[in-house]
């Protein structure tokens, strides 16, 4: 899976981008909205199950996964998360916006 954005250009910010997730890192991300690679991806299914259970505990019933094909979505992982939590997960099939926009002359 690849993140949506790459590292920032500034040297200090670039170093922070590659720091592993920690309480200090999480605080900086929340306070400054600083980009961080570990925060930009969730590849561990067990962690996703824990997070989906918290979502369900607070009344959530369905999630939509908008991960595009190019970011290497994990259909089997999503199915496992849904089965383990009882949360419905809707996974998009593919992006059709570009084709529709071009067909209607909106570009």
In the predicted model, what is the mean pLDDT of the chain? 82
Q: For 31-64, what is each residue's pLDDT tens digit? A: 888 888 888 778 899 999 999 999 999 999 999 9
Q: What is the DSSP string of 61-87?
A: -EEEE---GGGT--HHHHHHHHHHH--
pLDDT at 60: 97
Q: Which residues share a beta bridge with 41? A: none
Q: For 81-106, what is each residue's pLDDT tens digit? A: 999 999 999 998 765 555 555 555 54
Q: For 10-19, what is each residue's pLDDT tens digit? A: 877 888 888 8
pTM of the model: 0.64
Angle at 88 between CA 85 and CA 93, to 5 degrees: 130
């Amino acid at each position: 899976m690849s993140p949506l954005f790459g590292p920032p250009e500034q040297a200090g910010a670039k170093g922070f981008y590659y720091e592993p997730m920690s309480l200090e890192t999480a605080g900086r991300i929340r306070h400054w909205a600083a980009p961080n690679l570990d925060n930009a991806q969730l590849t561990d299914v067990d962690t996703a199950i824990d997070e989906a259970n918290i979502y369900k505990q607070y009344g959530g019933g369905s999630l939509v996964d908008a991960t595009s094909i190019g970011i290497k979505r994990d259909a089997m992982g999503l199915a496992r998360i849904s089965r383990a939590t009882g949360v419905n997960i809707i996974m998009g099939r593919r992006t059709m916006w570009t084709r529709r926009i071009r067909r209607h002359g909106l570009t």
